[in-house]
Amino acid sequence: MAAVRAARRQRLRGFAFVLPALLWTAAFFLLPFAFMVAMSLWRRVGGRILESWTLENYADFFGRPHFLEGLANSLEITLTVTVISVLFAYPLAWIIAEKVPERWQRAALMLAVLPFWTSYVVRSYAWLLVLAHDGVVNRALLAVGLVEAPLVLASTRTATVIGFVHFFVMLLTLTIYANLRQLSPNYARAAADLGAGPVRIFLHVILPLTLPGVMVGAFLTFVLAIGDYVTPQILGGNNELVLPQIIMLQIGRRADLPSASAMAIVLMAVVTLVYFACARWLRLERA
Amino acid sequence: MPGNTRVSLGRRAFLGGMAAAGAAAAGLRAGRARAAESLNALVWCDHTDPALIRPFEEAFDVRVNLKEYEGTGTAFSIIEQSAPGDGDVFVIDGIDVPRAVDAGILAPLPEEELPTADLFPELVMAESHVRDGRTWAISEKFGYNTISYNREKVDPADVMDMAVIWSEKYAGRIAIYDYYLPIIGLVAIGLGKKTSELTEADLPAIREKLFQMKKVAKLVGDVVASQTALATGEVDILVGGGEWVTAGLAAEKPELDWVLPKQGGLRWSQSIGIFADSTRKDLALEFVKYILSPEGQARLATSSCYWAMPANRRAGEVLTPQQKAALRWDDQPAYLARAQLYPAPDAELDARMQDIWTEMLQQ
């Protein structure tokens, strides 16, 4: 009997420990999410929200090519950004973890994440000036004679991608660096003992073992980039719209929260699908 | 001992610092306590200039809390999510005042306390501001959505014709201000239509021209982005610009100019009113009167966010000759005669306009 009571006490204590987290999640995720789902099934008509259930907001979204194009633009830009960021961040993290002397690694990491200290909005506007018609990049290219006329860089998809990559390379460098640091050097030594060359060691030992870190960073990049409004708005020049910009148009111009909610749910569904696609690499523990 | 002395001095300095900080905090609290009353205003960014607000705060010993917004849709969204009585003063697009009256957002204003007779006659806008014999808002500032351009890069004769906004001549050198109503209005004017008579039947032709504009435009940007593009030489023409883009830059960028083409341009105006649920209506009225006073009007006209014409003609007594020149004070009679008002679509037409605007952006 005493053992049963002790076990129950143990369970209650465990529950008490997780209760704050559960309450937090319920208050700040589940309830707002449920409200957003409900809102997406209502309709704004003539300036008023009709609280009767309908799927019309979803039908509108999937029935209008310019809305679907927004989703396609979001996916294309986000995937491009994720791939380019990984390609830049991995070598950078590897150099910091393997080539930079240990006492300088902290300083190197700090330098790598230094741009994080600037406001995201200010950084985006700064990029706009850098990429402008007579900005730093064009002036440098013209000065060294690489181009005869200024390149069109600002207010393009390229500018959006550059702004994103600048931000996410820092984020990915941190996650990949942490992963590389956890990796015992004995793996590489054992592979070398067995006759593997540097390329083979990287491809067959280092890369597979650091893949979870890469995937966690890539997933974070995907989630943050696909939901971002600021960078495409400032750097893209409204020459094409991504889904968050279309969502903002529904809120800012129409005060149409039901439509905006439906689009936000679609965006969440896309993120969920990507999560499931990457789930096998997103476990926190090392296999 | 020297060491002890240092410790002792450090402690004294620390205690002295704490005392000073405490006194400063007490002073701040006292300051706050003195400005016991506060006023909440939902405004456009030009009202956030301390040079405009501080004189009122000091004169009435009040703290003005400003919430800035862009676009009437956003304002309605903010109001819907607020508790009744949260707001006292509301600055709103002149043409949207009837929507606010319909929604029961505004309180009537005491006509006898307003300087209506001093306003430019076109800015009285009784059709928007007066209903059932009562005044619900009053114009405070106005300007034009037309064409801003760089005089050194663009032939002034070209921008006298609205067709320049979709012509190939300046392809890749044009920015479009990202607000569907004025741009659709400008396109309508360019097509020889009256903005007040637009219907669904006019939209296909407008849509075609919008798409043509998008092809030759470099970007479609908000206030900051489009102004930056013109100021940095990224583009040479800003469709939808006006004095609100270039007047404030007159000293630094004299080559930037604005013009009303021969077909005319659009006149925008902002109005000020008091929230129906305000619990501080007397103080709110004092604020409205201050903003409409010649001094308040001059400060509002040259506010740091954007410059534009004051609605009250008597502000001319306070503005400097340079400020009046940048605002084209002397050209106003001719400009007012040639300008049309923003389109004022009903909810259905408004939704269609926004649809074609989104389609245009996605091209």
Sequence spans of domains, chain B: 37-142+268-332, 143-266+341-361
Among chain A residues, the shortest Cα distance to B347 is held by A46
Task: Assess if residue A239 is contained within a domain.
Answer: yes
The Cα of A240 is separated from the nearest Cα of chain B by a number of Å equal to: 5
Beta strands in chain B (DSSP E): 37-43, 62-68, 89-93, 106-107, 130-131, 134-135, 138-150, 174-177, 217-221, 237-241, 256-259, 265-275, 309-310, 339-341
Phi (first) and psi of residue A153, to 5 degrees? -115, -45
Yes or no: say if A284 and A214 are a contact pair by the CB < 8 Å rule.
Answer: no
CATH at residue A76: 1.10.3720.10
pLDDT over threshold 80, residue B345: yes
A259 touches chain B (CB under 8 A): no
Yes or no: say if A237 and B220 are a contact pair by the CB < 8 Å rule.
Answer: yes
pLDDT over threshold 80, residue B14: no
> Six-digit token pair at B88?
């006292």
Q: Which residues of A touch B77 (CB under 8 A)?
A: 251-252, 255, 257
Span A37-56, average pLDDT: 90
For residues B329 and B309, give the distance between their C-alpha atoms in angstroms, rounded to a whole number. 8
pLDDT over threshold 60, residue B77: yes
Q: Which residues of B touch A237 (CB under 8 A)?
A: 218-221, 225
pLDDT over threshold 80, residue B250: no
DSSP A106-135: HHHHHHHHGGGGS-HHHHHHHHHHHTSTTS
Task: Assess if residue A232 is contained within a domain.
Answer: yes
**Nearest CB to A240 within list B70, B225, B362:** B362
pLDDT over threshold 80, residue A254: no
In B, residues 319-358, which contact A (CB 8 Å cutoff)? 347, 351, 354-355, 358
pLDDT of residue B40: 96
pLDDT band at B228 (very low <50, low <70, confident <90, very high): confident
Task: Assess if residue A39 is contained within a domain.
Answer: no
Of A39-48, B160-169, B271-280, which range is least confident?
A39-48
Task: Assess if residue A65 is contained within a domain.
Answer: no
pLDDT over threshold 50, residue B15: no
CB atoms B232 and A70 under 8 Å: no
Q: Which residues of B touch A132 (CB under 8 A)?
A: 232-234
The Cα of A4 is separated from the nearest Cα of chain B by a number of Å equal to: 51
- Residue, of B6 and A21, whose pLDDT is higher: A21
The CATH code of domain B37-142+268-332 reads 3.40.190.10
The Cα of A79 is separated from the nearest Cα of chain B by a number of Å equal to: 19
pLDDT of residue B346: 85
Q: What is the mean pLDDT of chain B?
A: 88
Top-level CATH class of B143-266+341-361?
A: alpha beta
Span B298-325, average pLDDT: 94
Of A153-162, B69-78, B178-187, B261-270, which range is least confident?
B69-78
- Tell me how many degrees the CA angle B263-B267-B270 measures, rounded to the nearest 5: 175
B228 touches chain A (CB under 8 A): yes
CB atoms B354 and A254 under 8 Å: yes
pLDDT of residue B34: 52
pLDDT for A204-218, tens place per residue?
A: 999 999 998 899 999
Number of domains in chain A: 1
Task: Assess if residue A212 is contained within a domain.
Answer: yes
CB atoms A255 and B74 under 8 Å: yes
For residues B134 and B153, give the distance between their C-alpha atoms in angstroms, rounded to a whole number. 49
- What 3 state SS string does A211-261 have? HHHHHHHHHHHHHHHHCCCHHHHHHCCCCCCCHHHHHHHHHHCCCCHHHHH
The parent domain of residue A255 ranges over 70-281
% of residues, chain B, pLDDT over 70? 90
pLDDT over threshold 50, residue B283: yes
pLDDT band at B4 (very low <50, low <70, confident <90, very high): very low
**Nearest CB to B232 within list A47, A129, A240:** A129
Helix (H) or strand (E) holding A280: none
Task: Assess if residue A52 is contained within a domain.
Answer: no
User: What separation in angstroms does the CA of A13 have from each of A1, A6, A16, A20, A21?
Assistant: 18, 10, 5, 12, 14
Longest dimension (CA), chain A: 88
